[in-house]
Amino acid sequence: MNRKLPIGVLLSGGGTNLQAIIDAIEQGRLDAEIRTVVSNRENAYGLTRARNHDIPATVIDHRGHPSREAYDRVVVEHLKGQGVELVVLAGFMRLLSPFFIRSFPDRIMNIHPALSPSFAGLHGQKQAFEYGVRFSGCTVHFVTEGLDEGPIIIQAVVPVLPEDTEETLAQRILVQEHRIYPRAIQLYSEGRLVIEGRKVRVTGEESDASAGSALVNPHIP
């Protein structure tokens, strides 16, 4: 059996991306072991998802710490104590301090619900919807000190349809988030992600024969 990559998942909310990662592990598509799930909010449903699968889940409340770094030091110590090698941000609604990022250099991933570098920050789906783009999607990237701007690992594109609302677009994007996040972690686990400046090279990547046909929306009849 392949070695299992020890990961720690940080979240603040519902945890559907955590669930997708759990499912991928249980189905044998992801050679990883979730050593810990950490939430900064005690009512995050993601904690329940973890416990339903006997995964240790911990609340580390951000309130009551004198600074962002003071909080991050507690989280980093916890993650290191669990032997975490890769930190997976899955809807963790807090900025990480430089201290945190330097504690896990090139070993933190995030998922953003837009096609980076567009629509960074909060509510990427809403920003894209209001802007009127014809395509949006989601991005898994390594975390650097800039907001949502680290080297891109994998992206999925979805169309924006005429009948869409913010919610239906967000749902379409979320379905793709659940596909690409476990895949990004698996590529990392296989040692196939090589960061070269701004870019990530995926070793052994095959070129896609369909790449010559562009996506157009609205479609050309």
**From the CB of 185, what's the least distance to ligand GAR, in Å?**
14
57 binds ligand GAR (CB under 6 A): no
Q: Which is nearer to ligand GAR, 113 or 151 (CB)?
A: 113
For residue 154, state whether it binds ligand GAR (rule: CB under 6 A).
Answer: no
Q: Which of 5, 7, 11, 50 binds ligand GAR (CB under 6 A)?
A: 11
151: contact with ligand GAR by CB under 6 A: no
Q: In what order do the strands lie in the sheet with 57-59?
A: 57-59, 32-39, 5-11, 86-89, 108-112, 135-142, 152-159
Q: What positions carry a catalytic annotation?
A: 112
39 forms part of the interface with ligand GAR (CB under 6 A): no
| Candidates 6-14, 96-104, 160-168, 186-194; binding stretch for ligand GAR (CB under 6 A) | 6-14
Interface pick for ligand GAR out of 41, 49, 112, 141 (rule CB under 6 A):
112
Subset of residues 64 to 103 that bind ligand GAR, contact rule: CB under 6 A: 90-91
Six-digit token pair at 94?
Answer: 């807090």
**CB of 15 or CB of 151, closer to ligand GAR:** 15
Question: Does residue number 172 form part of the binding site for ligand GAR (CB under 6 A)?
Answer: no
Task: Report the residue from 14, 23, 192, 195 that binds ligand GAR according to the rule CB under 6 A.
Answer: 14
One of 127, 177, 182, 186 touching ligand GAR (CB under 6 A)? 177
SS3 letters across the chain: CCCCEEEEEEECCCCHHHHHHHHHHHCCCCCEEEEEEEECCCCCHHHHHHHHCCCCEEECCCCCCCCHHHHHHHHHHHHHHCCCCEEEECCCCCCCCHHHHHHCCCCEEEEECCCCCCCCCCCHHHHHHHHCCCEEEEEEEECCCCCCCCCEEEEEEEECCCCCCHHHHHHHHHHHHHHHHHHHHHHHHCCCEEEECCEEEECCCCCCHHHHCCCCCCCCC
Beta bridge partners of 59: 39
Question: Applying CB under 6 A, which of residues 8, 16, 156, 186 lies at the interface with ligand GAR?
Answer: 16
Query: Is residue 9 a contact point for ligand GAR (CB under 6 A)?
Result: no
CB closer to ligand GAR out of 8 and 124:
124
Whose tokens are 């003071």? That residue is 70
Residues that bind ligand GAR (CB under 6 A): 11, 13-17, 46, 90-91, 111-113, 124, 174, 177
